[in-house]
Every structure is written in structure tokens, then in C-alpha cells.
Structure 1
Amino acid sequence: MSSRSEIKIDARLEQAKSLVKALENGDGGLAEGLINELAEMSQNEMFQEVGKITRRLHDSMNQFGLDARISELADKDMPDAKERLNYVITMTDQAAHATLTAVEELLPVAVGLNDRSNKLLEQWGRFQQREMPYEEFRNVSKEIAGFFEYSASTSEIISKKLTEILMAQGYQDITGQIIRRVIQLVQDVETNMVELIRLSGGMNEGDQKKQNEPELAGPVVPTLATGDSVQSQDDVDDLLSSLGF
């Protein structure tokens, strides 16, 4: 038996003795007062027990819902998130590979086009300066005609490879959506873990801070202004806490 229970029993014994003595002495007023005190004590103890039971039931119901959500996160959402992230990695790898391949194929094409352009530019400069014999100019004319054909085919290759690079970047929209969903999952896990810690009694700092911070004036909400309405689980928590449970 705890010391607190012993104190309660001793107090009742003292009141009972006083009541018997008052009755023996015919002191009706004192006897009535002692009877009222005993009744009030019993009511207070009953109130305390009901409050404790209510608190345990309320926390158990919250814990049940929280456990169900955590179970769902562990059994379904977390494996799904891993699959989604693996898919993001796969798509990113494929896009990077496609982009690098296209660039590697474009580089020699661009180098060849640049070399032939510079060569023709030099020859054209000699022609403008009248430093090119007629026979050489005839050969240069053939090179120019060939360069036009080469430029046309090269442009098609460049256009095709640039399109491949552009299409490879389409993964970003899909992977962005997947990553945002995984971020939301992480936030859900964090919220549920914090709530689990709070319910287990290991996190009281938030409640203490809430008590110490003055409330700022804001718009009057009818259901809150009366103070008589309990609208949410947090309201139940606040009510039980205000009653000492």
C-alpha cells in the first residue's frame, strides 16, 4: 500500500472518529459538516478515478489509431517508397546514359564539320584575294558542292541527336512527382513518430512551451469563443490536462 493511500485512510479515520464524537455529544451541526466532507471526499476520489480511466481510454484510442498508421507505413508505404526511389535511380541512369551517348556521337560530327568549314573558309579567302589559280578554283568548287551535301546530312544527324537528348530529359517530370510523394511519406513518418513519442510521455517540451507563450489576439471563432465545445482529439487532451489527468 502506498503512502498516499495510507494518508487518505488516516484522514478518513480521523473524520470518522470526529463524526462519532460529534454524534455522542449531540452536536448536529458538526456531524452534518463531517458527513458532507466525507461525501465530498468520496465524490472527489470517484472523480479522480473516472478521470484516470478516461485518460487511459483516450490515450489507448489514440495509440490504436497511431499504431495502425505506423503499421501501414511499415508494411505498405515504406516498401512502395523504396521501389519508387529505385525507379527514379533507374530512369535517371537511363537518361544520363542516353544523353552521354548522343553527345559522344555528336562530337566527331561537330569536329568534322568545323574542320571542313575552316578549310573552305581559308580557300575562299585566297580566291577573294585573287591568289587562287583557275584549276585550283575548279577543285574548290567541287569541294564546296560536296560540303553543301555534307552539311545537309550532318544537320540531320545533329537534329536527331539533339532530339534524343531532349527526350531523355523527360524523366525529370515523372521523377519529380515520385520524389515529392516520397518526401510527403517521410513527413508522415516524422509526424507519426513525434506523436508516438508524445503519447509515450517522452516529449513535454512542446506542451510547456505552449503554456508559457502568450496567445496572440486573432479573429473570434464562434465555437472557440464559448469555450464549451470539444472539437478534436487535441481538445480532449487539453480538457483532460486541465483537469489534472
Structure 2
Amino acid sequence: MTSSNTPSSAAAQALHKLSSELPDACERLDYVKRMTDQAANKVLGLVEDAQEDAEAVRRQGSELSESLQRLAAAPDLSVERARAMMRLCAAYAASAAGFADRVKGLQTEIMMAQDFQDLSGQVINKVLGMLRPAEEPLQQLLAEHDQLHHVAPEAEQLAGVQTPDKALQQDDVDALLAEMGF
């Protein structure tokens, strides 16, 4: 008695469309996951590199500071010792400038590693576009099924993200679809 205009027919069509699009949606979400993992690993590696460079510059700065303090306290400061300290200061300044250049480059690479965000957002929007049209027909189909089988509706059904202990099991979903002729 169902015509092509009845809710169950529309729900069935939506479910068929959804079932044909699910593999593509899963593949897209796997792609987003891989992109996110790659970006996170790249950023973590870049930060570790920057931390090693920062530690080297910190250590050199501490050593130079101690040497300058000793030299300033020495009663017999010769021109040659002062020149040697000036060379150490110049070397440290060059090292610090090189560190700043490397950090600037690392910051650029970190920003570039975040380019996945735009792409992952696009992919997620596409997957949501696949899933949203099936939500209402699926709820209607389930409501019709519940009415036909005198099942009391549960407030937790289709309540969004589920914890593993409250989520429907695959066997439950398969049995429900089998009862509905899918």
C-alpha cells in the first residue's frame, strides 16, 4: 500500500541512497584522519627540532654570560682577553641570529602543516551533506517500524554521538534492517 510518496518509501529511498554513499563517506573520513595524523606528526617533529635549537642557544648564552661576568670581575683585563670575549660575543650573536632564522622557518612550516584544516573541513562538509538528508527519513522509517511492531520509543534512540556502552551494536542494526526488508 506504499506509494512513491509515502514516508516509508521516501525513507527507503533515502536509506538506499545513504547505503550507496556510505563507502565514499567512510573513505573521505579516513582521508581526513590520515591528513590530521600527518599534520600533527609534522608539527610535533618541527617543535622538537625548535626545542633542540633553543636549548643550544640557551646553553651558549649561559656560558657566554658566565664568561663575561668572570672577565668583568678580573682585575687584569688585557686587550687580548677583551678581544677574545668580543669574538665569543660575535659568534653567539651570529648563532642567535641563525636560531631566529630557523625558528621563523619552522613557524612557517608549522603554519603550512595546518593546511589540512581547510581540506578536512571541506571533506567533513561533504560527508555531512551525504548523511543529513537521510536523518529525517530514517527517523520516520524507524517510527513507522516501531508503530507496526508496537515498540515503545526510547529517548536515547538517534540521540547523536553514543558512548560504546550505549551505542547500537551492528547486529541490532542488521536485524532492524532485515525486518524492514533491506
**TM-score under structure 1 length normalisation:** 0.53
CA distance in 1, matches of 2:89, 2:75: 18
Residues 182, 106 of structure 1: alpha-carbon distance in 2 compared, 3 angstrom cutoff: same
Correspondence 1:166 to 2:117: no
Structure 1, gaps ≥5 residues long = 1-55, 207-245
**Deviation of the 1:103 alpha carbon:** 1.7
Give, as a single letter, the amino acid of the residue that structure 1 aligns with 2:107: L
Correspondence 1:139 to 2:80: no
Correspondence 1:83 to 2:27: yes
Identity level (%): 27
- Is the 2:36–2:116 contact (alpha carbons within 8 Å) kept by the matching residues of 1? yes
CA distance in 1, matches of 2:105, 2:76: 38
**Deviation of the 1:82 alpha carbon:** 0.5
Correspondence 1:196 to 2:152: no
- Is the 2:2–2:8 contact (alpha carbons within 8 Å) kept by the matching residues of 1? no
Tell me the equivalent position of 1:96: 40
- Is the 1:59–1:199 contact (alpha carbons within 8 Å) kept by the matching residues of 2? no
**Deviation of the 1:109 alpha carbon:** 1.0
1:90-113, CA deviations, whole angstroms, 9 ceiling, x for partnerless residues? 111110121122122222211110
**Deviation of the 1:162 alpha carbon:** 1.5
Structure 2, gaps ≥5 residues long = 154-182
Q: How does 1:85-234 map to 2 (within 5 A)?
A: 85-131=29-75, 133-134=77-78, 135-183=80-128, 185-200=130-145, 201-202=147-148
Root mean square deviation, CA, Å: 2.7
CA distance in 1, matches of 2:75, 2:133: 79
**TM-score under structure 2 length normalisation:** 0.68
1:104-161, CA deviations, whole angstroms, 9 ceiling, x for partnerless residues? 2222211110011111122223344455632432211111111122222222111111
Larger radius of gyration: 1
Give, as a single letter, the amino acid of the residue that structure 2 aligns with 1:194: Q
Residues 132, 151 of structure 1: alpha-carbon distance in 2 compared, 3 angstrom cutoff: farther
Query: Which deviates more from structure 2 when the two are superposed, residues 176-185 or residues 62-71?
Result: 176-185
Give, as a single letter, the amino acid of the residue that structure 1 aligns with 2:12: D
Q: What SS does the aligned partner of 1:176 have?
A: helix
CA distance in 2, matches of 1:190, 1:62: 13
**Deviation of the 1:72 alpha carbon:** 0.9
Residues 95, 57 of structure 1: alpha-carbon distance in 2 compared, 3 angstrom cutoff: closer
**Deviation of the 1:186 alpha carbon:** 4.1
Greater share of helix: 1
1:68-95, CA deviations, whole angstroms, 9 ceiling, x for partnerless residues? 221111112x122101101111111110
